[in-house]
Amino acid sequence: MKGVLYAGLALLALGLQITVVPDLSIWGIRPDVVLVTVLAVTIRWRDKFVFVYAAALGVALDSFTHGVLGVSGMSFFAAAIAAQLVGGALYGDSLVSFSTAVFALSLLEGIVFVVIFRVLDSQVPWGSWLLTRVVPEAFYNALIAPAVYIGIARLERWTPLHPRS
């Protein structure tokens, strides 16, 4: 049942990222609803399958947004590994600690993303991407994180499975 719930969340997050999120752009910066969903699921669901979940959602995001196929998959995978490590250290269901974790993990994902692009093309401006894209997007992700977390927690209450099982 939990797998069906998270598959539905994946489709919902992808749909929102493709259709609604472009309209939420502030100065060209958009939140990454798919990444925040991956981080929330990874922190709440203690299972090794979340790594496949994260990579698959990253590849799906690349394919729907015309990105370089696999870059988001690899960066989401790295963020999921870090989220599994961070998840045990979070204080209960605190929204502040979750938002802080999303900010830090979004920074990590953005840095991995830029490093991969830098490896693929040495002309990628490392410093300007970090300052103008990665850090503002991490702040934006941290701002939307409580809404995503509360939404997932409410959906989990409708299912008979405990989220931390």
Residues with Cβ within 8 Å of 5's Cβ and at least 6 positions away in sequence, in order, are: 155, 156, 159
CA distances from 118 to 35, 72, 121, 124, 131 (A): 21, 14, 5, 6, 15
Q: What is the pLDDT of residue 160?
A: 66
Average pLDDT of the residues in 5-10: 82
Residue 152 lies in a domain: yes
> At residue 26, what are phi and psi to the nearest 5 degrees?
-120, 115
Secondary structure of the chain: what % helix, strand, coil (to 5)? 75, 0, 25
Q: Specify the number of domains making up the chain.
A: 1
Would 14 be classed as within a structural domain? yes
69-126 pLDDT, tens per residue?
A: 788 889 999 999 888 888 766 656 688 888 989 999 999 999 998 888 888 877 878 7
Does residue 164 form part of some domain? no
pLDDT band at 165 (very low <50, low <70, confident <90, very high): very low
Which CATH number belongs to the domain containing residue 28 in this structure?
A: 1.10.1760
**Nearest Cα to 79, choosing from 116, 59, 104, 98?**
104
In this structure, is residue 77 part of a structural domain?
Answer: yes
Q: What is the mean pLDDT of residues 63-74?
A: 82
Amino acid 95 reads L
pLDDT at position 6: 78
pLDDT at 1: 61
For residue 142, the model assigns a pLDDT of 94
CB 90 within 8 A of CB 97: yes
Residue 165 maps to a domain: no
38: containing domain: 2-157
CA distance 70 to 66: 11
Is 23 within a domain? yes
* Residue 72 · residue 111 · CB < 8 Å: no
